[in-house]
Amino acid sequence: MKLAYWMYAGPAHIGTLRVATSFKNVHAIMHAPLGDDYFNVMRSMLSRERDFTPVTTSVVDRHVLARGSQEKVVDNITRKDAEEHPDLIVLTPTCTSSILQEDLENFVERAQLEAKGDVLLADVNHYRVNELQAGDRTLHQIVQYYIEKARKKGELPEGKTAKPSVNIIGISTLGFHNNHDCTELKRLMADLGIEVNAVIPEGASVHELKNLPRAWFNLVPYRELGLMTASYLEAEFGTPCIDIVPMGVVETARCIRKIQEVINAQGADVNYEDYINEQTLYVSQAAWFSRSIDCQNLTGKKAVVFGDNTHAAALTKILSREMGIHVVWAGTYCKYDADWFREQVSEYCDEVLITEDHGEIGDAIARVEPSAIFGTQMERHVGKRLDIPCGVIAAPIHVQNFPIGYKPFLGYEGTNQITDLIYNSFTLGMEDHLLEIFGGHDTKEVITKGISAESDLSWTKDGLAELNKIPGFVRGKVKRNTEKFARDRGFKDISAEVLYAAKEAVGA
Amino acid sequence: MTIAQEPTALNFECETGNYHTFCPISCVAWLYQKIEDSFFLVIGTKTCGYFLQNAMGVMIFAEPRYAMAELEEGDISAQLNDYAELKRLCEQIKRDRNPSVIVWIGTCTTEIIKMDLEGLAPKLEGEIGIPIVVARANGLDYAFTQGEDTVLAAMAHRCPDKAPVAEAEKNERNAVQKLLNFGKKKELVAQEESEYVDHPPLVLFGSLPDPVVTQLTLELKKQGIKVSGWLPAKRFTELPVLEEGYYVAGVNPFLSRTATTLMRRRKCKLIGAPFPIGPDGTRAWIEKICSVFGITPKGLDEREAQIWAGLEDYVKLIRGKSVFFMGDNLLEVSLARFLVRCGMTVQEVGIPYMDKRYQAAELAMLEKACQEMGVPLPKMVEKPDNYNQVQRIYDLKPDLVITGMAHANPLEARGINTKWSVEFTFAQIHGFTNARDILELVTRPLRRNNNLKDLGWDKLVREEAKI
C-alpha cells in the first residue's frame, strides 16, 4: 500500500479509453463498477466535446460478483453494436474487474459471433502499467488487428505512395495541446511537400489503418504514445520511424533533417536547409528572441522543469540551449522510461529527478527556489504556495489547458508559443518582486472609506460568527446589505437571525 | 392522451442501471470539510484516486485531510499483510495530522478481495489510540450521495449513548448549542431554555454546511423545538448523544441506511417527513416535527407565502416549462416536488435508488403537488438507462434536463438546456432561506439562453445522416 492523493499518470484504462475514443466510430465498453465512467466527464468537460463520449459501462455489481458477468458483457456488446453500429468495440477491463479474473477474451469471442462490428479486448495489466503505457499498447493492438485482418483478406495495399508521405502517430483526445500540434504538423508537412498518409488515432477510421504501410515514414511526435505502433510497422513493413520531438527551434530542425535523410534514402531528392534557415531566422520569432535584450535579462536565471518525458525533455533543452536559462533540475514522472529522459537532458541540467511523488517535487522546488517553474498543474499550485510563477507544460491539466485559440507546442509556431509562455512566466515573477520591494503599486493612504466602515449598528457574537462563515469575497456585500436591512427595520443588534432574515429579504 | 388515462398514483419503473453517476467515495470531499478533526483514508486503487483527484478539482491542492491507501499488486495477491500495511499508513497519518478519527472508506477492490476492514479496525484502533470508523462506500453497491449515508450509518454507532450528567451539560458538548449560547451566562441559558417547549430530545441527521445547520436550527427554535444535536457535528468529538427513545429526523433523501441504523441499533424514533428542500418542503418538514411533538406550528403560512413571493421573479421564468431528471444523486424526488410547486411539469424522475419507506412522505407530497397543480405525474425510473433516457429526451424535448456532466455538453450542443446535477449537492439548498438558491441554479440555463436566443446558435452539431 502506498499513501497518496495525487498521481501524475492515470490508471491504465484511461489510456485505453483515450486511444479508443480518439478513433472515429469506435466504442469502448468498460467492465467496471458504477462511477468508474469518470472518463466521460473529463472528455466532456475538459475538451468540451459536443458529442457523447462513446464509452459505456457494463456495470459490475453484486449480481455480477455472484454470477459472473458473461451474459451482461455479451449483451452490452451486442446491444451497443445494434444501437450505434460502431466499426469496433473495445472491451476495457478496469482495476476492479481485472481482479475478478473472468475470461473476458471468451466473452469477446462470443459477442463477436453476433456483432456486426469488430470486437477487441484491450490487453493491459492494470497493476503494472499506467495510462500512458496502456494507451501506447492499445494503439498498437488496434493497428495490428486491422493490418492482420486486411492481410488475411488480401486487402493490404501494395507499395508506397507516389510522393513522399507520412503517418503521424500519437495524436489523441485529452492529450496536452494535441489538436493544435496536429494542425501545426500537417502545416509543416505541407511546407516540406510531404503528403499526410494518415493521422492516428485522433479522427481516424479503423478502415484506414490498412493503408498505413503506404507511407514512406512514420512520425511519432510524442515519446509516450505511438512508439510501439511505429516499431511494429517498422518490423512488418520496414517503414522508418522518426521519433525526434519537433519542439523548440533546434529540435524542429533536427527532426526536419532526419526526415530529409529518410526520404532521400528512399529515392526522393529534397534539401530542406533553406527552409530551415528561413523559418529559423525570419519566420519563427524564437531565434530572434534569444538574441534580444529581453532574453539577455533571463541569462542564468534559475528554473526547474517537471512533466512527462516529451515535454519536460524538450523544455529543458529549450531553456538551457536556446535561452541560456539555468535549469537546476529537470524531472519526469515517466519512471518506466527514465533512461531515455536521463540521456536526453543530463547535459542540459544540473540534476535529474525521476519520481511520481508530488511531495518530493514540492520539496525539491522549495529547496532550489527557482525564478520560474515549468511543470504540470500540481507544480503550478506548488508555485502558488511558494509565490513562484509556473508555466504549465504537461498533463495532468485542467480545463484552462485546453485553449480554444491556436496554441501548438510543436513546429515553428510552437516555438513562438513556448517563447511567450517562458517569457511571461519570468517577467511576471520580476514584476511581483519589484512590487514587493516598493510596497505595492499604490502606496498612498486611502482617504475615503467604504460604507461598511462607519456602522451605527452592533453585531452580536452569533451574528458575527455567522458573518465570518460567509466566504471572504462576498462578506463585505453581505455585511452592507444586512446592515441596510437592519437600519430599515430599526434593529439595533444584528444576530444570526437578522442576518438570515436579511438574506431572504434581498434574495441574495 | 385523454384525461382518463392519466395515472393517479406514481408509477415506478426499473431500467438497466446503466447510468452515469459519481462514485460514492466522493463523499469524502464534503465530509472531511464538515468533520474538521477527521481524516478520510480511501483504501482502493489508482482508479479511485484518479476519480477523486479529478472530481475534486482545486480542493486537491489545499492539503486535504484525505488520502488514498493505494493498493498494489502485492496487496491484491495477499503477499503483503493488510493489517501491517494499514498500520504503517495510519501511524503516518497520526504522526502528520493527528486526527480525532480516521475513516476508512472501503472500495470495490476491498470488497472483491474481501479485506476485512471491520475486523481490522477495532484491533488497530486499540493499538494506535485513534477511533477508526469503517464505511463501505463502493460502486458495487451504492451511488454518489449514498456514500455519505454509509459513513453516517457507521458514525451512528459511535454516538455516546448516555447524556452527560447535569453539571457537565452546562459545558455544552454540542456545537450548535454552543453557538446559540455563545457568550451568554448560565442564567441566560436557563432563561433561554424556557423558550423551548418541553419535548423529547430531537437529533437531526445529514451533513450540511454550518450556515444551513444554523438556519434550520433557528427555524425549529421559532416553533419552540430544541435541536439536541446533529449527526454529523463539526467535530468527531462532538457527536450527539443518542439514547433509546430519542427522536431523529433526516434532512436529506439519501440517508436511508443511517435512518435504519438509528432506528434498529440506537432505538431512536424516526420522524418520517418530506425533506426541507424548497419552502413547501421546509414547511412540511417543520409541521411534521411539530405534529410529532404535539406543537401547533405558528407563523408558517405567512413565512411560506413570504418566501414564495420573494421567488416570483424566478418562478415566472419556469412556470409551465418541462423538466427531465436523468437521475444521479437521490435529491431528485424532493427537487421534482419543489419544481412542480413552481409550476413546472416533470416528465421523468430518474433516480439511482428508491427507498419507498424512507421517502414515503416525500413521494406522497410529490403526488399531492402534481394533483393540486394539475400536472401529470412524472414517470419514476429507478436505476435508469442513460442511452434510453437520451432517446426519450429527443422525443419529449424537455425545456430543461437535469443531468451529470457526461451528458450536459452533448445535450447543449443539440439545443437542449441542461443543468449540471452535481451542483445541487454542493449548493446550499435547504430551508426557507435557500429556496432562492435552488431556483438560481434551475433558471441559470434558461436565463443564459434567453440572452442568446436571437443568435440562432441552438444546434451546434451537424445533422447526422439517417441510414
Q: How many whole angstroms separate alpha carbon A316 and alpha carbon A307?
A: 10
Q: List CB contacts (< 8 A) between B111 and chain A.
A: 65
> What share of residues in chain A are helix, strand, coil (percent, to 5)?
55, 15, 30
Interchain proximity B75–A62, CB inside 8 Å: no
C-alpha cell recorded at residue B103:
475513516
CB A29 within 8 A of CB A77: yes
Q: In this complex, which of B52, B66, B433 lies closest to A504 when CB atoms are compared? A: B433
How far is Cα A282 from Cα A387, in angstroms, rounded to an integer? 36
pLDDT, mean of residues A134-143: 97
pLDDT of B367 over the 70 cut? yes
Higher-pLDDT residue of B89 and A69 is: B89
- More confident call, A451 vs A64: A64
In chain A, % of residues over pLDDT 90: 68
The CA radius of gyration of chain A, in Å to the nearest whole number, is 28
Asked if residue B370 belongs to a known ligand binding site, the reply is: no
Helix (H/G/I), strand (E/B), else coil: B280: helix
In this complex, do A462 and B55 lie within 8 Å of one another by their Cβ atoms? no
- Select from B57, B410, B433 the Cβ nearest to the Cβ of A500: B433
Q: What is the mean pLDDT of residues A369-398?
A: 92
Q: How many CB atoms sit inside 10 A of residue B450's CB? A: 11
Rounded to whole angstroms, the Cα distance separating B353 from B337 reads: 17
Measure the CA angle with vertex A44, ends A39 and A49; round to 5°. 130
| Cis before A201? omega within 30 | yes
Pairwise CA distance, residues B232 & A452, whole Å:
35
Lowest mean pLDDT among A200-204, B140-144, B167-171, B307-311: B167-171
Instruction: Determine the pLDDT at residue A254.
Output: 97
The confidence score (pLDDT) of residue B191 equals 60
Residue for grid cell 484552462: A400
SS3 B463: coil
Of the CA atoms within 13 Å of residue A392, those in its CB half-sphere come to 19
- Per-residue model confidence as pLDDT tens digits over B137-193: 999 999 999 999 999 999 999 999 887 665 444 444 455 555 555 555 555 556 666
pLDDT, position A507? 61
Q: Which residue has the cell 406550528?
A: B297
Q: How many helices (H) and strands (E) does chain B have?
A: 20, 14
In whole angstroms, give the CA distance from residue A14 to residue B191.
Answer: 62
Position A469 scores a pLDDT of: 81
Judge whether A404 is closer than 8 Å to chain B, CB to CB.
no
Total residues belonging to chain B: 467
Grid coordinates of A234: 517498422
Residues 6+ apart with CB under 8 A from B260: B153, B358
Which of B66, B140, B404 lies nearest to residue A65, judging by beta carbons? B140
Taking the C-alpha atoms of residue A129 and residue B460, their distance in angstroms, rounded to an integer, is: 38
pLDDT band per the 50, 70, 90 thresholds, residue A100: confident
Q: How far apart are CA B388 and CA B18, in angstroms?
A: 9
Tell me whether A126 touches chain B (CB under 8 Å).
Answer: yes
For B430, which DSSP code? Answer: B
What tens digit of pLDDT does each residue of B64-113 get?
889 999 998 888 888 889 999 999 999 999 998 999 999 999 999 999 99
> A216-268 pLDDT, tens per residue?
999 999 999 999 999 999 999 999 999 999 999 999 999 999 999 999 999 99
**3-state class (DSSP) for residue B330:** coil
Under the phi-then-psi rule, with left for phi > 0, alpha for psi from -120 to 50, and beta for the rest, what region is A196?
beta
DSSP code string of A162-185: SS-EEEEEEE-TT-TTHHHHHHHH
Euclidean distance between CA atoms A3 and B264, whole angstroms: 36
Contacts of A59 in chain B (CB under 8 A): 17-18
Q: What is the mean pLDDT of residues B373-387?
A: 96
Instruction: Look at strands A165-171 and A195-201 and give their pairing.
Output: parallel
| pLDDT surpassing 70 at residue B6 | no
Question: What pLDDT digit, counting tens, does each position of B247-275 carry?
Answer: 999 999 999 999 999 999 999 999 999 99
Annotated catalytic residue within A123, A294, A337, A357: A294
Grid cell listed for B429 = 439548498
B356-383 residues labelled b (16+ CB within 10 A) or e (exposed) = eebbebbbebbbebbeeeebebbbbbbb
How does residue A169 score in pLDDT terms, banded at 50, 70 and 90? Answer: very high
Whether A394 contacts A376, CB under 8 Å: yes
What is the bridge-based pairing of β-strands A2-4 and B66-70?
A: antiparallel
Average confidence (pLDDT) over B286-312: 95
Q: Mapping DSSP to helix (H, G, I), strand (E, B) and coil, where does residue A342 land?
A: helix
Q: State the nearest Cα–Cα gap between A26 and chain B, in angstroms.
A: 16
d(CA A106, CA B449): 49
Among B130, B330, B428, CA closest to A470: B428
Q: Which positions in chain B touch A127 (Cβ < 8 Å)?
A: 72-73, 76
User: Quick one: angle between helices A461-469 and A496-506, nearest 10?
Assistant: 50
Instruction: Answer yes or no: A103 catalytic.
Output: no
Query: Could you report the per-residue pLDDT of B106-140, keeping only the tens digit for each?
Result: 999 999 999 999 999 999 999 999 999 999 999 99
* Cβ contacts of A56 on chain B, cutoff 8 Å: 18, 387
Flag whether residue B54 sits within 8 Å of chain A, measured between CB atoms. yes
Q: What is the ipTM of this complex?
A: 0.88
Three state DSSP letters for A376-431: CHHHHHHHHHHCCCEEECCCCCCHHHCCCCCCCCCHHHHHHHHHHHHHHHHHHHHH
Q: A89 and A145 in contact (C-beta within 8 Å)?
A: no
Q: Could you tell me the pTM of the whole model? A: 0.88
Q: What is the pLDDT of residue A293?
A: 82
Interface test with A, best of B27, B33, B54 (most A CBs within 10 A): B54
Give the confidence band of A465 by pLDDT, cuts at 50, 70, 90: confident
pLDDT bucket at A436, cuts 50 / 70 / 90? low
Q: What is the pLDDT of residue B459?
A: 81
Strands (E) in B340-385, as ranges, are 345-351, 379-382
Mutual angle of helices B300-318 and B278-292, in 10-degree steps: 160
A129 secondary structure, DSSP code: -
Query: Which of B435, B416, B59 is closest to A52 using CA atoms?
Result: B416
Q: What percent of chain B stands above pLDDT 70?
A: 90
Best B16, B18, B306 residue to mutate vs chain A (most A CBs within 10 Å): B18
- Among A101-105, B23-27, B57-61, B160-164, whose mean pLDDT is lowest? B57-61
8 Å CB contact between B361 and B367: no
* Residue B268 marked in a binding site: no
**A63 and chain B in contact, CB less than 8 A:** no
- Using a CB-CB distance cutoff of 8 angstroms, which residues of chain A are in contact with residue B404? 41
Mean pLDDT for chain B? 90
Q: Is the pLDDT of residue B370 over 90?
A: yes
Mean pLDDT of A129-153: 96
pLDDT digits (tens, 9 = 90+) for B395-427: 999 999 999 889 999 999 999 999 999 999 989
pLDDT of B417: 94
pLDDT at B167: 46
Using pLDDT thresholds of 50, 70 and 90, give the confidence band for residue A451. Answer: very low
B20 close to A (CB below 8 A):
yes
Least confident range of A416-420, B1-5, B269-273? B1-5
Q: How far apart are CA B284 and CA B126, in angstroms?
A: 45
| Mean per-residue pLDDT over chain A, rounded | 90
Question: So what's the pLDDT on residue B168?
Answer: 44
Instruction: Tell whether the model's pLDDT for residue A375 goes beyond 60.
Output: yes
- Asked if A50 has any chain B CB less than 8 Å from its own CB, the reply is yes
Quick: pLDDT tens for A333-342: 999 999 999 9
- pLDDT for position A449: 42
pLDDT at B170: 45
The answer to whether A429 is a known ligand-binding residue is: yes
> Do B108 and A496 make contact, defined as CB atoms within 8 angstroms?
no
Q: What is the pLDDT of residue B169?
A: 46
Contact A503 B433 (CB under 8 A): yes
Tell me which residue in A11, A378, A496 faces B47 most closely, judged by beta carbons: A11
Helical spans, DSSP H, in B77-185? 82-97, 108-112, 117-128, 146-156, 166-169, 175-180
Q: What is the pLDDT of residues A19-53, one digit of tens each?
A: 999 999 999 999 999 988 899 999 998 888 999 99
A59 touches chain B (CB under 8 A): yes
C-alpha cell recorded at residue B430:
435547504
Under a CB-based contact definition with an 8 Å cutoff, are residues B274 and B330 in contact? no
| pLDDT computed for residue B464 by the predictor | 60
